[in-house]
Chains A and B, each alone.
Chain A
């Protein structure tokens, strides 16, 4: 993942009002405004965050390479060899600390194993990649579209919804967005139940419909469980969205973005102290649990404050 040219700021100039949103930043906002503040406004990132991002990014890229190769007519064996070589080229300079918890699971050795296991497992995939009108496979589809409203304080700038769809597929005569997830936990029914309702999956269903101009039934979540002693596991789960559910999500979005603008204008992002234990515990729980006077010291010790060009930015192309 190379940095490339610096993307435009997702914030209105001279303000902390975000106008370009993706599922990640919107998810932070909905989960806890203070989490959003620390991550999106201040750019604090856990020290091992880069390992998760790199591993996930390379895994996605490898599958994308394979999908394009297959859509271009390559045989399975040729596409697999091509994918592995491209992966090795990209990660030759990646040497995460395998002594860390993140690096123990997410490192180059396990990544190569995971990619080979994945492609072997889905060699005869019942999901068929949708082919766009331009003849390209619907893989890694970036989307960016305007909403018909914007921040109250900037009438000329509508809100943008941005993101990337891993793949659009046909399955049993319906269209779905397919989203790759890596996890170290067991992808059980409990895991998949967590995607309904779910901010990301509703946005992706909506975005798929906007991008393709045709109904999308929902999202197929494809979970890859990284295991060290037993073979990696791959499980797919479905989550569906009706048009009414999407309308409701969009209606709620207006309130959420309105609140985000108000937080920015007030210069205060309140803590949602009922969300601290969600998803295995918030990354900033150890900060928010401290007295406000000493939080900065703990932030500086336990986190890295990324420069603006390295912070999460919904406008950054993949």
Chain B
């Protein structure tokens, strides 16, 4: 039961780990309140950046299953001088 504003990135991580479709209005209000607190801290000169390894992350489980490799790059012909001339058409 989340009844208080998230105080730490860990609290936000918990909220962020919830399927967004299952977030309650209260959850959303807490996330928004957290962002506002972050902004207020920045305004006050408090560094709000977290080390990368603890930065809040969005659920990436689905990504791992969905990531598609880009198609293999075909060799690109460089633009070649044309056989014809560049016609002035204006």
CB distance from B90 to the nearest CB of A (A): 6
Q: In the bound complex, do residue B20 and residue A92 qualify as a contact, i.e. CB atoms below 8 Å apart?
A: yes
- From A180-188, A228-236, A239-247, the one touching the partner chain is A228-236
Query: Which B5-44 residues sit within 8 Å CB-CB of chain A?
Result: 16, 19-21, 23, 25, 28-29, 31-32, 35-36, 38-39, 42-43
CB-CB under 8 A from A267, the residues of chain B are 79-80, 82
Contact check: which of B23, B28, B39, B89 meets A231 at CB < 8 Å?
B39
Interface size on B, residues (CB 8 A): 48
Q: Does A74 contact B (CB under 8 A)?
A: no
Q: Does A98 contact B (CB under 8 A)?
A: yes
Contact check: which of A37, A95, A152, A258 meets B58 at CB < 8 Å?
A95
CB-CB under 8 A from A146, the residues of chain B are none
Q: Please name the residue on chain B nearest to A108 by beta carbon.
A: B58
Query: Which B35-90 residues sit within 8 Å CB-CB of chain A?
Result: 35-36, 38-39, 42-43, 47-49, 52, 55-60, 62-63, 66, 70-71, 73-82, 84-90
Complex Cα spacing A116 to B29, Å: 11
Given A93-B66, A94-B63, A95-B60, are A113 and B39 also a contact pair (CB < 8 Å)? Answer: yes
CB distance from A106 to the nearest CB of B (A): 13
Q: Does A61 contact B (CB under 8 A)?
A: no
Complex Cα spacing A85 to B20, Å: 6
Q: Does A91 contact B (CB under 8 A)?
A: yes
CB-CB under 8 A from B25, the residues of chain A are 81
Q: In the bound complex, do residue A88 and residue B36 qualify as a contact, i.e. CB atoms below 8 Å apart?
A: no
Q: In the bound complex, do residue B82 and residue A112 qualify as a contact, i.e. CB atoms below 8 Å apart?
A: no
Given A84-B32, A262-B89, are A109 and B55 also a contact pair (CB < 8 Å)? Answer: yes
CB-CB under 8 A from B81, the residues of chain A are 268
Complex Cα spacing A91 to B20, Å: 10
Q: In the bound complex, do residue A99 and residue B52 qualify as a contact, i.e. CB atoms below 8 Å apart?
A: yes
Q: In the bound complex, do residue B76 and residue A305 qualify as a contact, i.e. CB atoms below 8 Å apart?
A: yes
CB-CB under 8 A from A42, the residues of chain B are 76
Q: Please name the residue on chain A nearest to B33 by beta carbon.
A: A116
- From A125-133, A189-197, A293-301, the one touching the partner chain is A293-301
CB-CB under 8 A from A117, the residues of chain B are 35, 39
Binding site for A on B (CB under 8 A): 16, 19-21, 23, 25, 28-29, 31-32, 35-36, 38-39, 42-43, 47-49, 52, 55-60, 62-63, 66, 70-71, 73-82, 84-90
